[in-house]
């Protein structure tokens, strides 16, 4: 397993002719085939990737010239299938590519493979994949986190210098923390969602998984910005995210009280407390801060998210995309059978819950109430950021858990997301940066930043890495 150099160096070497894009793609494909036992990858785009590499070698250009990457299999890509790890999309070939993929390709990057995920990104472990469970590179009996578990494992297994994930309730940050990668959940609207299989449209974001904050900043810089195909995208104020100059001294840091309480694994707690000490030694002013509504964020998320999921999944009806039941006798039966056979248990559970909380009679009791509390969460974050530059805490109550440990009880699985969902409810940018080990398992520090402060957050993450 050979490590990749920094992404900007790699692109510079391709442009100077020192290395060939074709060789990089082959290196990536070899790492994928050497590490099949981890089940991180659903499919490769070998043909298209090698063709693009040969093209790029003729005229190397772009900030990511010849750099291979891996996309979670819920990004629409050309040259292969896009399945979202679900049976219902098993035969689906995308007719166009996600804007994020287009932007990366325009700078010379090459999508080499599609990574495993919980089907439709519903989950925290990749155990809801209709394909297979990805294994944690640090311990094969444990999950890599989810839903972007394949992307996270791929980065640690050096299958590519970066991978893409989506984060609706923590799906980039949780696996990043569980495998020891950097995982960025940008501000809502920072990266276009066009061409990404929708989960919960009011919280879905797209972001990179990398080994370093510097690499993540470059990839996010290329992907971000307004897109006329996604009306929720926001303008990027800064010219670039790649200048990561930062000094912790004088910065005000709030440690989220509600995330440091009982139930937190002792090993995780020790790593986070150690990180806080490092920030203090670097000159930051650190204080505890309480956001009293945060413990409610999980309940809010598991109402709002299924509500949006139930609506977004209605398009898979056996007529327009992917799987269509063969034995149906009429149209209604075709809808029913295609969905019955095509969706897994978790998708069905979310469709049921979502339909229930949106139905008349229950709408006021659940959905409306959840949205009211969501507003409280947003207000508490913005009040906290009037006093603090960043908020910090753990990503999850435990390090990577055992495969099968939580599959019998969906509620147990949902509880993993207790520290990540709030930033999705509010839209704030948040990142997981490797912070240490609990036993032999990685633990990430979560840094949450004010709205649209993705650049400062990346600079802070790099400065945290530099503290060693
Ligand atoms: N684990 C969360 C869920 O199951 C978040 C998933 C995600 O961010 N895509 O909904």
The overall average pLDDT reported for the chain is 97
Which residue from 73, 129, 199 has its CB within 8 A of the most atoms of ligand 1, so it is best to mutate? 199
- Quote the ligand 1 centre to 398 CA distance (angstroms): 16
- Quote the ligand 1 centre to 50 CA distance (angstroms): 33
Tokens of 230: 């996604």
Which listed residue (124, 125, 129, 171) is catalytic?
171
Is the confidence at residue 214, as pLDDT, over 60? yes
Which residue from 119, 124, 151, 167 has its CB within 8 A of the most atoms of ligand 1, so it is best to mutate? 124
Query: What order do you get walking across the sheet with 252-256 strand by strand?
Result: 41-44, 110-115, 68-72, 162-167, 205-210, 182-185, 430-438, 441-448, 390-394, 252-256, 285-289
Q: Please tell me if the CB atom of residue 203 comes closer than 6 angstroms to any atom of ligand 1.
A: no
The residue-averaged pLDDT of 274-303 equals: 98
Q: Which helix (H) or strand (E) holds 455?
A: helix 454-466
* Separation of alpha carbons 310 and 130, rounded Å: 19
Whether 329 is catalytic: no
- Report the pLDDT value the prediction gives residue 248, as an integer from 0 to 100: 97
- Report the pLDDT value the prediction gives residue 1, as an integer from 0 to 100: 42
* Separation of alpha carbons 351 and 339, rounded Å: 11
* Separation of alpha carbons 184 and 208, rounded Å: 6
Q: What is the number of the ligand 1 atom nearest to the C-alpha of 148?
A: 9
The answer to whether residues 287 and 252 touch, using CB atoms and an 8 Å cutoff, is yes
- Report the pLDDT value the prediction gives residue 2, as an integer from 0 to 100: 64
Is the confidence at residue 157, as pLDDT, over 70? yes
The residue-averaged pLDDT of 341-366 equals: 96
pTM for the predicted model, two decimal places = 0.98
The answer to whether residues 442 and 179 touch, using CB atoms and an 8 Å cutoff, is yes
The answer to whether residues 395 and 418 touch, using CB atoms and an 8 Å cutoff, is no
- Quote the ligand 1 centre to 16 CA distance (angstroms): 42
Nearest Cα neighbor of 338 from 321, 356, 354 is 321
Nearest Cα neighbor of 263 from 422, 412, 377 is 412
- Quote the ligand 1 centre to 174 CA distance (angstroms): 9
Q: What is the number of the ligand 1 atom nearest to the C-alpha of 122?
A: 4
Q: How confident is the model at residue 4 (pLDDT cuts 50, 70, 90)?
A: very high
The residue-averaged pLDDT of 418-424 equals: 98
Q: What is the number of the ligand 1 atom nearest to the C-alpha of 172?
A: 8
Q: What is the number of the ligand 1 atom nearest to the C-alpha of 128?
A: 4
The per-residue pLDDT for range 186-210, each reduced to its tens digit, is 999 999 999 999 999 999 999 999 9
The answer to whether residues 152 and 145 touch, using CB atoms and an 8 Å cutoff, is yes
The per-residue pLDDT for range 9-40, each reduced to its tens digit, is 999 999 999 999 999 999 999 999 999 999 99
The per-residue pLDDT for range 46-103, each reduced to its tens digit, is 999 999 999 999 999 999 999 999 999 999 999 999 999 999 999 999 999 999 999 9
* Separation of alpha carbons 10 and 408, rounded Å: 44
The answer to whether residues 207 and 184 touch, using CB atoms and an 8 Å cutoff, is yes
> Is the backbone peptide bond immediately before 147 cis, with ω within 30 degrees of 0?
yes
CATH of domain 1-468: 3.90.1300.10
Q: By alpha-carbon position, which residue is closest to atom 3 of ligand 1?
A: 123
Nearest Cα neighbor of 134 from 112, 110, 114, 104 is 114
Whether 171 is catalytic: yes
The residue-averaged pLDDT of 320-327 equals: 92
- Report the pLDDT value the prediction gives residue 237, as an integer from 0 to 100: 85
- Give the CA dihedral 294, 72, 109, 39, nearest 10 degrees: 120
Is the confidence at residue 321, as pLDDT, over 90? no
The answer to whether residues 355 and 337 touch, using CB atoms and an 8 Å cutoff, is no
Domain ranges of the chain: 1-468
């Amino acid at each position: 397993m050979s490590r990749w150099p920094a992404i900007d160096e790699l692109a510079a070497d391709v442009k100077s002719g020192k290395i060939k894009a074709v060789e990089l793609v082959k290196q990536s494909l070899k790492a994928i085939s050497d590490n099949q036992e981890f089940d991180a990858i659903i499919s490769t785009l070998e043909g298209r990737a090698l063709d693009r590499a040969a093209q790029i070698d003729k005229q190397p250009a772009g900030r990511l010239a010849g750099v291979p990457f891996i996309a979670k299999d819920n990004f629409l890509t050309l040259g292969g299938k896009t399945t979202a790890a679900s049976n219902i999309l098993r035969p689906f070939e995308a007719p166009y590519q996600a804007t994020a993929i287009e932007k990366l390709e325009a700078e010379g990057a090459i999508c080499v493979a599609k990574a495993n995920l919980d089907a439709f990104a519903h989950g925290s472990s990749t155990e809801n994949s209709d394909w297979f469970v990805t294994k944690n590179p640090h311990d094969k009996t444990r999950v890599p986190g989810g839903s972007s578990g394949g992307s996270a494992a791929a980065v640690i297994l050096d299958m590519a210098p970066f991978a893409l994930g989506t984060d609706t309730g923590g799906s980039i940050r949780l696996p990043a923390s569980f495998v020891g990668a950097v995982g960025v959940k940008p501000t809502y609207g920072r990266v276009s969602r066009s061409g990404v299989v929708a989960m919960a449209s009011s919280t879905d974001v797209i972001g990179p998984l990398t080994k370093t904050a510097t690499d993540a900043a470059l990839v996010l810089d290329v992907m971000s910005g307004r897109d006329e195909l996604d009306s929720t995208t926001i303008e990027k104020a800064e010219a670039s995210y790649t200048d990561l100059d930062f000094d912790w001294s004088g910065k005000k840091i709030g440690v989220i009280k509600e995330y440091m309480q009982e139930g937190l694994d002792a090993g995780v707690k020790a790593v986070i407390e150690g990180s806080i000490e490092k920030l203090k030694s670097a000159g930051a002013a650190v204080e505890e801060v309480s956001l009293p509504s945060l413990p409610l964020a999980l309940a809010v998320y598991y109402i709002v998210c299924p509500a949006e999921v139930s609506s977004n999944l209605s398009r898979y009806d056996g007529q327009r995309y992917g799987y269509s039941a063969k034995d149906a006798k009429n149209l209604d039966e075709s809808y029913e059978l295609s969905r019955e056979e095509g969706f897994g248990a978790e998708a069905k559970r979310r469709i049921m819950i979502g339909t229930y909380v949106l139905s008349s009679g229950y709408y006021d009791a659940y959905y409306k109430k959840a949205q009211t509390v969501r507003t409280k969460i947003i207000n508490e974050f913005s009040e906290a950021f009037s006093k603090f530059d960043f908020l910090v805490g753990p990503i999850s109550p435990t390090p990577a858990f055992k495969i099968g440990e939580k599959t019998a009880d969906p509620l147990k699985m949902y509880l993993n997301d207790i520290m990540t969902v709030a930033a999705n409810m509010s839209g704030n940018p948040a990142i997981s940066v490797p912070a240490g080990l609990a036993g032999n398992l990685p633990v990430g520090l979560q840094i949450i930043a004010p709205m649209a402060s993705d650049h400062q957050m990346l600079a802070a993450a790099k400065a945290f890495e530099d503290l060693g």
